[in-house]
Amino acid sequence: MAEAATPEVANRGVITICLMIATLMQALDSTIANVALPYMQGSLSASYDQITWVLTSYVVTAAIMTAPVGWLAARFGTKQLFITCLVGFTLTSMLCGIAQSLTEMVLYRLLQGAFGAALVPLSQSTMLNIYPAEQRGAAMSIWGMGVMVGPILGPTLGGYLTEDFNWRYVFFVNLPFGIAAVAGLALLMPGGKQRQAQGGFDWTGFAVLSLGLGALQLALDRGEQLDWLSSTTIIAAFVLAGLGFYLFIVHMLTARRTFIPREIFKDWNFIAGLIIMFLVGMVLLASSALLAPYLENLDNYPVATAGLVMAPRGLGTMFAMMVSGKLTNRIDPRLLMLFGYLLLGLSLFMQEGWTPDTGETYMVTTIIVQGAGLGFVFVPLQVAAFYTLEPALRTQGAALLSLLRNVGSAIGISITSALLARMTIYEHANLMVHITPFSRVLQAGGAVSRIWNPATKSGAAQLDSLVTTQAQIIAYMDDYKFMFLATMPAALCLLLMRGAPRAGAPKSSPPKAPSPVQEAR
């Protein structure tokens, strides 16, 4: 498909900075409030189960409202929608900061998630539109830093603001950056040609998709606390999620008009990109969520030290994004993604061998390799997935990629958390079978047999603590094996993708009949 030349855009650098501010704000807010929950719980007089809705309400609404971003951009224009959502996100952040009750906080977080859902896909589609094809690799590397590094830095920044100031500053911090980004985009962002959406909004498709996404997020978020399928609530949520997705697929195949154009699912590059993004999302946040408790609970690192050990992961990601952004137009993006998968698989294989005796140098090396692997996958994927996609479908495509990444992250965190808890119990039972009063170690006499004497209360407690630690180490190994296996199907999807052209390669192609989406322009 021949693509029209990208028009020259004045002040492209300033626009990019404003777009990155908006992207980073949304990415940070997905994790920045996590460490502040205990402080919110006291201020808002909420129980632990109730305060988790501060996170759940944001995630669920953001997932639901990501889907119709493409239709809204076609109906109201990308610039108008972006600025409106950015203003709304900034204002609702301030409202969250001044909330006086749990009800107010949950309501404002719902609104914040609704406004924030559009920021990431709209910033990505805008970056693709204002940069020519030969510069999109570098542009996506800049954009990807905000998307991937934001959630990593969120807990660190949130902990600093909460400890040195107040938990409310977790939300107040968005105000100056939001004002600067709105002012810059309002003055400099090109309006572009508005493509009018055909017909009215597809309320049926949106309703059933919202049902599926909302029920799935609820089940994943509350499943571990309610013991999964032993809870009627979780079973009902999974049933509703399945029903919602089934009705959405049927509606997509049979309805005359849908708010997600069917043409977008005819592009094999983009379909492969969706699958890869979903599987990468499973590893992206799940690996980070496992790392902090491992360092703090098994290695007995202080919180500050654990944060320093985790920091190189973000550095590895940024370095890989900068390198891959420069190489995307010179090397086949599929080769870069394959290299990224090899690094990611190597890091997960290395983590399978971690124990509390593992040295810091080895752990930091593993973390850097993992961050680099994610970076080498993420940037070329943003280019290859959109290479053969109609320009008119880019906003909708960016929204779907963000949606699949978020859903993959939620599923990955839930699976790894559940697997860790269940395998810890399972391995604990297996190990305890081998510990009896007749064991040679316990009969040998000396200090060991006295400290671990199962006939005494303190000895039994010491033995149980030791076995639990060993069981957790094995359970973490099982989690890393699961994530390693999750990367394999994503690597196979590279066979479905066409490579993007190298710099200077001709992009001519036979004339093609315009699609219905192009005719609507």
User: Rounded CA gap, 73 and 123, in Å?
Assistant: 12
Does the structure show a pLDDT above 90 at 92? yes
Mind giving me the DSSP string for 3-44? -PPPPP-TTHHHHHHHHHHHHHHHHHHTTTTGGGHHHHHHHT
Q: Once rounded to an integer, what is the mean pLDDT over residues 454-458?
A: 73
The pTM is what? 0.79
DSSP-assigned letter for residue 348: H
Q: Calculate the CA 103 to chain-centre distance.
A: 27
Is 342 within 8 Å of 488 (Cβ atoms)? no
Name which CATH class applies to 10-190.
Answer: mainly alpha
State the chain's maximal CA–CA distance in angstroms. Answer: 87
**Residue 33 structure tokens:** 């409030």
Q: Please tell me the predicted confidence (pLDDT) of residue 427.
A: 93
**Residue 198 structure tokens:** 């055909």
Does the structure show a pLDDT above 70 at 231? yes
Fold of the domain spanning 265-502+517-521? Growth Hormone; Chain: A; (1.20.1250)
Across 26-30, 55-59, 99-103, 382-386, the highest mean pLDDT is recorded for 99-103
Q: Once rounded to an integer, what is the mean pLDDT over residues 451-478?
A: 83
Question: Which among 49, 129, 132, 118 has a CA at the least distance from the CA of 89?
Answer: 118
Is 31 within 8 Å of 184 (Cβ atoms)? no
Q: Calculate the CA 413 to chain-centre distance.
A: 10
Does the structure show a pLDDT above 50 at 455? yes
Q: Please tell me the predicted confidence (pLDDT) of residue 192.
A: 59
Across 405-414, 420-429, 511-520, the highest mean pLDDT is recorded for 420-429
More confident: 31 or 396: 396
Q: State phi, psi for 9 to the nearest 5 degrees.
A: -115, 125
What residue spans define the domains of the chain?
10-190, 202-258, 265-502+517-521
Q: Once rounded to an integer, what is the mean pLDDT over residues 134-161?
A: 77
Residue 513: pLDDT band (50, 70, 90) is very low
Residues 6+ apart with CB under 8 A from 48: 41
Q: Please tell me the predicted confidence (pLDDT) of residue 437.
A: 67
Does the structure show a pLDDT above 70 at 453? no
Does the structure show a pLDDT above 90 at 107? yes
Q: Please tell me the predicted confidence (pLDDT) of residue 2.
A: 45
Q: Once rounded to an integer, what is the mean pLDDT over residues 199-203?
A: 78
**Residue 336 structure tokens:** 């870069």
DSSP-assigned letter for residue 191: -
Is 78 within 8 Å of 395 (Cβ atoms)? yes
